[in-house]
Amino acid sequence: MKNQITLGLVALSMATAFLSSCSKDDSNSNGGNARMTVYLTDAPAPYDAVLVDIQDVQVNVSADANTTTGWQSLHVLRPGVYDLLKFRNGLDTAIASQELPAGKISQIRLVLGSNNSVVIGGVAHPLETPSAQQSGLKLNVNASLVSGVEYRLWLDFDANRSIVVTGNNKYILKPVIRTYTQAMGGSIKGIVLPPLAVKGVFAIQGSDTIASAIPDVTTGAFLMAGLNAGAYNVAIAGNGILKDTVVANVNVTVGQAISIGSITLH
């Protein structure tokens, strides 16, 4: 039997959306059902494949975030191994969906099996997981589900930052997951050329890198989704021969995909 690894997800206070056709009684969070759908997407990484064994997605419907009870599994659409690198630059896949009683969701967590690996240069390496993660980290989410409304949550799994290489050439999985919802996200998109000379595209606020992307190797197109509203500097890293460049003050608004156009490195 596989040893299951419980991974607590990054805490995030999330907004709720109301359907304009719902009546006042229908939108009361004290009754009725809401549907919660969880999607998987990825911040790109320089590997051939990053294979993650997803076995369960659970939410805590208890009003008390500190309790060990109240956990409920969502219906996982396809338990098994997912290649994170197939879900880049705006691509995603639904991994779990289920109707839940309207009300509060205090926590969410992902349960992985043991069949996790990274492929580098055509060679697969097992991804080990520290014992501290096997006991499960529980972090608050604080989502409000409204009757008659589908709540969509994206798990942005940063594969590059989630894999740590040790001195003896072992690969350790330390998940870095950013969550966002359809209601709160905006996007930055564009084209960077020549794509094979671009090491990465980064959305930066102050000294913090908020999101990253690797452009499509054929078209140079990229997309960074789930960004909070605000101004970002978009940094494009060259390969050392072509120079880096920065597009300053790109203003993101909720529900909009802001294009920086086509950028050519020189």
Q: Rounded to 5 degrees, what angle do the CA atoms 55, 173, 227 make?
A: 85
The three-class DSSP label of residue 195 is helix
Do 240 and 142 belong to one domain? no
Q: What is the domain range of residue 254?
A: 186-264
Q: Which of 149, 181, 213 marks a domain boundary?
A: 181
Do 165 and 196 belong to one domain? no
The three-class DSSP label of residue 240 is coil
DSSP letter, residue 133: H
Phi and psi based region of residue 160 (left: phi greater than 0; alpha: psi -120 to 50; beta: remaining): alpha
pLDDT of residue 22: 35
Instruction: Please tell me whether the overall predicted TM-score, pTM, comes out greater than 0.75 for this model.
Output: no
Looking up residue 191, the CATH number of its domain turns out to be 2.60.40.4130
Do 110 and 241 belong to one domain? no
Do 163 and 205 belong to one domain? no
pLDDT of residue 78: 94
Cis peptide preceding 194, ω within 30 of 0: yes
pLDDT of residue 136: 44
Do 247 and 155 belong to one domain? no
* Rg of the chain on CA atoms, in Å: 20
Q: Which of 128, 159, 181 marks a domain boundary?
A: 181
Q: Which of 181, 198, 217 marks a domain boundary?
A: 181
Do 72 and 143 belong to one domain? yes
User: Of 245, 193, 243, 244, whose CA–CA distance to 218 is shortest?
Assistant: 193
Phi and psi based region of residue 24 (left: phi greater than 0; alpha: psi -120 to 50; beta: remaining): alpha
Q: In terms of DSSP bridges, do strands 245-252 and 230-238 run parallel, antiparallel, or are they unpaired?
A: antiparallel
Q: In terms of DSSP bridges, do strands 150-158 and 33-43 run parallel, antiparallel, or are they unpaired?
A: parallel
Do 145 and 245 belong to one domain? no
- Cβ(201)–Cβ(224) under 8 Å? yes
Q: In terms of DSSP bridges, do strands 257-264 and 186-193 run parallel, antiparallel, or are they unpaired?
A: parallel
> What single letter denotes the amino acid at residue 110?
L
User: Of 59, 57, 16, 255, whose CA–CA distance to 147 is shortest?
Assistant: 16
Give the number of domains in the chain: 2
- Cβ(73)–Cβ(187) under 8 Å? no
DSSP letter, residue 149: -
Do 144 and 171 belong to one domain? yes
- Cβ(200)–Cβ(192) under 8 Å? no
For the chain, report the end-to-end CA distance as a whole number of angstroms. Answer: 54
Do 166 and 243 belong to one domain? no
Do 135 and 198 belong to one domain? no
Q: Which residues of the chain have pLDDT under 70?
A: 1-31, 44, 63-68, 130-142, 147-149, 182-185
Do 51 and 107 belong to one domain? yes
Do 163 and 71 belong to one domain? yes
